[in-house]
Amino acid sequence: MRLSDLQVNISENKLVMSWYADDRHLQLSYTGSDALPGAADAALASCMLPAMLLGETLEVDDTFSISSTLRQNLNEFQRIFVSWFDDVQLIDIVIADNQFRQIPLTSSDAAVFFSGGVDASYSFFQLEPEIDHLIFCLGLDIQLHELARCQKALEGANKFAQHYGKNLIVIESNFRTAFNNLSARRCQIVLLITYSLALGLETLYVPASHDAKELEPFRSHPLTDPLLSNGATKVVHHGMISRVEKTISIAQSDQALAFLRVCNASDQFNCGECEKCLRTMATLAVIGKHSASLPPLDNVAKLRSVKIWTPGKYHMWHDIKHYAQLHRSEPIANVVSKLCRAYEWKQLFKQVKHQCRLLLDDILPRITK
């Protein structure tokens, strides 16, 4: 995959960064920023995971000048991802010696990603005194052609940023169009981090998706997020506490509850039916809070439809059971306890099946001799 013709231009009060990945035309627009000193690093790093998924060597033309620190970090990032995921390959990144440079620190600003979700809201409130910018992205989870959804999400982010006196930086990406054979969800958090390198910030906070006790190989991880730093921008994985604790914390803010967005399953966001929505609704019900952006959990029987399929999800629901018991919310505690028990039985059967297969593999050759 050859990256070429990197350009940064101004169009309609936006900074527009564009380049080619072979014949794919990639474009990012930035609103709320007046410079993109790390554009080349952002373009290179954002194409690394797609190249790993496609198994293609990554190389750049002479319009790129790359941070030597970033180049070293990407090697380690790749090694970890390849050890975790079967669908990516270790690739060569080819950059001429005369194209390396160190980016001078041009800003002392700090930013945090903001989607309106629980993780992002928690990190913002914990870091609020030192945060200068909120970074909001369109084109990955919300597609650019979904004009009404884009507008609704953008309005919420703008109101939140204005309420707390922060600058909102909006990034628009055409990744879905350029790489229509790849999953935007698969690449999303890595893309968002690497896009933000263009801004030349001193510190970029990435809201953690998992509690420290439930860490597992994942797209965003305390081992790999910092490896997307480029020597000027330091990437920090933040907030590794349970999702329930985060929800309880942000529920103290009317603004956070008003703009809470935990899923994209409907035109109005927050479908009220998916696992993420039901998990958040259950937590709010336990502590006696309500978000105008989510329906109330008026019938705990809704929770019976939830299927727990990963250890991370299990830990989240187990925490809800614990807090429901503490708050004497017995109906929720009872239903969630059954959900957790169903997952535990499923895992036990998997282990028994695995052990039986090992035993058979050992015994059958002896019997057939």
What does the alpha-carbon distance between residue 104 and residue 62 come to, in Å, rounded to a whole number?
20
Place of tokens 């080819």: 94
pLDDT tens per residue across all 369 residues of the chain: 999 999 999 988 899 999 999 999 999 999 999 999 999 999 999 999 999 999 999 999 999 999 999 999 999 999 999 999 999 999 999 999 999 987 766 788 999 999 889 999 999 999 999 999 999 999 988 888 888 888 888 988 999 999 999 999 999 999 999 998 888 778 899 999 999 999 999 999 999 998 888 788 889 999 999 999 999 999 999 999 999 999 999 998 888 898 888 887 666 678 889 999 999 999 999 999 989 888 899 899 999 999 998 888 899 999 999 999 999 999 999 999 999 999 999 999 999 998 998 888 888 887 776
Cα→Cα distances 150→120, 137, 170, 185, 265, Å: 18, 10, 11, 17, 14
Half-sphere exposure of 68 (CA within 13 A, CB side): 8
pTM reported for the whole predicted model? 0.90
Q: Tell me what pLDDT residue 105 has.
A: 66
Torsion of CA 16, 20, 24, 30, to 10 degrees: -20
What pLDDT score was predicted for residue 118?
93
Report strand pairing: 66-67 vs 100-101. Answer: parallel
The secondary structure of 84-104 as a DSSP string is H-TT-----EE--GGGEEPPP
Tell me the C-alpha distance between 40 and 17, whole Å: 9
Nearest to 224 by CA among 67, 12, 79: 79
CB 202 within 8 A of CB 169: no
pLDDT at residue 144, as a whole number: 86
